[in-house]
Structure 1
Amino acid sequence: MAKAAITVKKLHYTYPNSTNEALHNVSLTIKEQEFVAIIGQTGSGKSTLVSLIDGLIKPSSGELNVVAGLEINATTKTEYLSKIHHQVGFVFQFPEQQLFAETVAEDIAFGPHNLGWPAKKIEKAVDEALKMVDLPLELKSHSPFALSGGQMRRVAIAGVLAMDPQILILDEPTAGLDTQATNDLLKLIKDLNEKGTTIIMVTHQMEQVAYYANHVIAMSNGQVVADTTPQQLFRDAQRLKKLSLTLPVSVEVAQFLSKDGITLKNTEPLTLDVLADEIAEAMRRKRK
């Protein structure tokens, strides 16, 4: 049975100079090597939750245990939080906007350099990170600003991966990318997960939740309102409607076909490929 990578207990958070809680009594567990999608409308508490997991802010009350027993609570000292950053990588929305160095290699090496790694270890980490994001080593000497948008985002992600985090948080990682760059980036994230990295992805895209996640956390008004699997979540169209979220196209089409008298064995096909197979099977059954 997989161990817990993150445990959140009765977490509360109120931003400075505010009287409204951004998070209220949040408890959850994320296991090692899970691919977790965190969903909800703007202002639901998603970004606050992942900022707490990464140690960017400290809870007002409650606690988090993050990999290997590292604990964050209201009294945690700021210098202790750097231990969290060694284990948890955070890829912000539009991470390419945070690129700054003259070369790709310098940008990727920034994090390891700040951790005090020796030069040979940093060089090896840079090369391995570029390979992980499927970029050629020849780009090391190039300016990151001369790359395509998708390549720039990969360089930014490589800078996080170079520190070898056990957990990778991504905030709307495909925002602003074209279809090909989106598919390539999601494949990269899926590959990292299959190699053992715990993934936490904040997203509004239900197709991405359906296709990639095995655990989904839905938030509303600073609270967790669903902590389940994609299959379970998408069975409850009314709950999604209340959360102002939509069904994946494949599930929506399956429900439409059911109302039209075409019964599928899998009533919540999470991808279009699965839906196509289900329709083909239903047609074969009908012809018999």
Structure 2
Amino acid sequence: MHNLRSVDLNLLVVLDALLAERHLSRAAERLNMSQPAVSHALARLRILLDDPLFHRRRREMEPTLRALELSEPLAEALAQIRTVLAPEGFDPTARHVFRLAMSDFGAALVLPGLMASLRRDAPGIDLVVTQQSRESMIGAVADGQIDMAFGVFPELSSRCAADILFEDEYACLLDPSAQPQPYRGLTESRYLSAPHVLVAVHGEAATEIDLHLRSHRKARRIALVLPHWSVAPQVIRGTDLILTVARRCLSEVAPGLEVTATPVDLPTIPFAAIYAKRRRSDPALRWLMDRTKQLLPPQGRSFPI
């Protein structure tokens, strides 16, 4: 047991940055310290905690079990300390970088309004946005590699929490002139027999739609898997393909294409922002979450995509 008065608490700030960045030079940049200074602090931490804390794996530093055990309580404690020392909360006029992850659909929903707001009210704040698979986003949030992710997350790591930003419903996009004739509207039998387009970052096929259909002993045929949302509506024209997505994606469609309700009952779509539970009290994340919520259109209105 260490006497708290004998411990340099700045070392804990360094450990928190190393756990978040998993990289010595990135942690140094985050802390505005030199790389040798961070390396020296890590050496002192290893003696203090009697554990190597990190092992080098290729280009990253892999935390030991002891370091992972410390990660959540350490981040939570530092967030509480920052709240005490900065009672006014996060200062949006200061320089700050948020690392976010989202699909191109999520980016279309969130980024235009958010960036306009930041450039107007908080020009010192920068965003670094990446696109990853759903599982990768959850893992990166839990490990502290990104601050927040936006999307649909039916299952979460126990280390993550979610704020639902809005709920949407599924709708279908199709070209009625290319459907088997006579076409008098999309029926359940036609929906299940039709070829479908699926948008998935890394080709994942187990979507909420297909899992729901499977639970009711139904299935659809995926004829095309795309990694990007932006091209999906374009491949519908002149084909018998059907695209099933959130209705808000389809606020503006090309002439000749039809947006219609799904002929099968599907669950609603909860669009959420997720973050690490240990950062629940982080003033910066709370500020970003509040600002994002303020910018979302009221329920029932479409996003101008």
Which TM-score tier does this pair reach, normalised by the shorter chain?
A: under 0.3
- Superposition TM-score, scaled by structure 2 size: 0.26
- Superposition TM-score, scaled by structure 1 size: 0.27
Higher alpha-carbon Rg: 2
